[in-house]
Structure 1
Amino acid sequence: MSTAQFVVGVIGNVTSICLFLSPFTTFLKIIKLRSTEEYSAVPYVATLLNCFLWLLYGSPFVKWGVLVVTINGAGAFIELFYLCLYLVYSKDRRTRRNAVLMITAIVIFFVAVLLINLLGIHRHSKRQTVVGILCVIIGTSMYVSPLTIMKTVITTKSTEFMPLPLSVFNLLNGIVWTTYALIGHDLYITIPNALGVFFALCQLTLYGCFCGNTRRMPTEITEVTENGKGVPPDVMSVGTAQFQNHAEV
């Protein structure tokens, strides 16, 4: 790894941590209310899977990348912490059960991918291809998720539920990790992050068009946005950035 790539990767770790921590205010509210209300666990489960896959991608078993491992290790820990809080404060049995089932499903999926790569694929180049493609698919889906809120902004002509700071950090995060990937000639990290830059620019363009509009969202849309149904993750992983809008690499 060159010095330039290392420096860019360190900056990427900082921007990604900021994105991973962005839902923290949501959980402070959950703790205060002692209830998850209608918030969904899906963004955090998806981000956890994303982090797991990038952890494997950056491991010595696939393609060693210390900065990819550090940020996604931290991201996985943060997401597990969020999910523990979610399970503790979820009052509805069905909601809690669904969250547990989703967590179990991604753990089983990750273990299956891990075992297939370690026991069934012996060449590092093939492991990199298999895991890289999975990372691109998951990472891209996380970056595409903001399309939901962008549609809402266009429909309501209001940026009330598309925070400017988050869009800016998503843009910075995407630029940094795209640069990191281009320096290292890594196509699998480049694709989702380049898409992240594109969608972040689209969000900022919408913000510029509608930021002066104070119009409130219709009640039904406000409810859907506030309860987490249809809102993109708060974080994106490095390598990609947590769908939350969650953070990936």
Structure 2
Amino acid sequence: MLEVVLQVLSISAITTTIALFFCGIPICMQIRRQGAVGDISGVPFLMGFLGGSFWLRYGFLKMDYTMIIVNVVGVSFMASYCIFFLYYSLPKKTFSLQLTLVVSTVTGMVVWIALKPNIDYLGVICMTFNIMNFGAPLAGLGVVLKNREVSTLPLPMCVANFLVSSQWCLYGNLVADIYIIIPNGIGMFLAIVQLSLFIVLPIRENEKSPLEKLANWFTGRDQKEKDLEAASEPSSPQKVPNEEISSERFEKLMAETTESRRESIDFLGRPPSYKSRSSSVPDVSSVQSV
């Protein structure tokens, strides 16, 4: 049963971790649209390449195929991102020196392990790199706590970090590897802290946090605020529905049309009562005789 759980967890950890590697694609698309790296930092790509290379060598020492598969894909992605970043870097000197330093460090590690394979030393170094990667988002927490809103925190990335770190922490417990448990346990804790901020703080300024909305819903405060807003609004005159207005106008128009038609028929059938000169007879009764 434990082997089945371990296999399922291995497949799940591989899937979620590889999916996390795709997060660099939107950054590369943004760099390509603007034609240069601009203010975007290439340090996450360098650290991903460096840490992935160390974990890959650690996986080969342990012959842990789950770690080997994940880190082969991860190193390939990070190397591609680094080359892409170098292509769009202006000037290229700074990032070239950083990339050269990282490649030299990886090469030195490979030579060192080949001459003196020590899994404990390598595990400590890998654990340190992982803790540094998980601790990088802490720099953005200062801005979040200062502004009292979480618009600067990427929610999908926080959720992905929580899923990946929690799965690898559980995987480390199943394979009894302290070098996997410690960094991913710290990463899981930091991810929980970040996710809790989305509950306590509002997404944008001048908005209510989900926790405050839930508290208002339980206490009925939202309904009271709505009633107060409705009472404070000025009363507007009652408007007659459009259907009643249209039917009223239609009846009035029909009545006017019928009356005008009736008058025209009356005029055509009976001429108005006035005496024509050609047909009138002089009235001699009032004439006195001479």
Tell me the equivalent position of 1:168: 159
Equivalents in 1 of 2:52, 2:122: separation in Å?
A: 12
Tell me the equivalent position of 2:139: 148
Alignment check: 8 A CA contact 2:42 2:82 kept: yes
Tell me the equivalent position of 2:169: 178
Q: Structure 2: give runs of 5+ residues left out of the alignment.
A: 208-290
Deviates more, 1:193-202 or 1:80-89: 80-89
Relative to the length of structure 1, the TM-score reads 0.79
**Pick from 107, 111, 115: which aligns with 1:111?**
107
Tell me the equivalent position of 1:35: 36
Deviating 4+ runs (over 6 angstroms): none
Tell me the equivalent position of 1:224: none
Equivalents in 2 of 1:181, 1:45: separation in Å?
A: 25
- Cα deviation digits, residues 111-161 of structure 1 (max 9, x gap): 21221222134xxxxx21011000011101111111111121111112111
Equivalents in 2 of 1:22, 1:185: separation in Å?
A: 30
AA in 2 matched with 1:117: I
Q: How many pairs align?
A: 206
Equivalents in 2 of 1:209, 1:100: separation in Å?
A: 42
Relative to the length of structure 2, the TM-score reads 0.68
Alignment check: 8 A CA contact 2:151 2:203 kept: no
Equivalents in 2 of 1:55, 1:129: separation in Å?
A: 15
AA in 2 matched with 1:151: G
- CA RMSD in angstroms comes to 1.6
AA in 2 matched with 1:82: Y
Tell me the equivalent position of 1:83: 82
Equivalents in 1 of 2:30, 2:15: separation in Å?
A: 25
How far is 1:6 from its partner? 2.3
Q: For 2:152, what is the secondary structure of its paired residue?
A: coil
How far is 1:193 from its partner? 0.4
Q: Structure 1: give runs of 5+ residues left out of the alignment.
A: 122-126, 217-249
> After superposition, where does 1:1-249 map in structure 2 within 5 Å?
2-59=3-60, 62-90=61-89, 92-93=90-91, 96-121=92-117, 127-214=118-205
Q: Percent identity among equivalent residues?
A: 24
Q: Greater RCO between the two (CA within 8 Å, min separation 6)?
A: 1
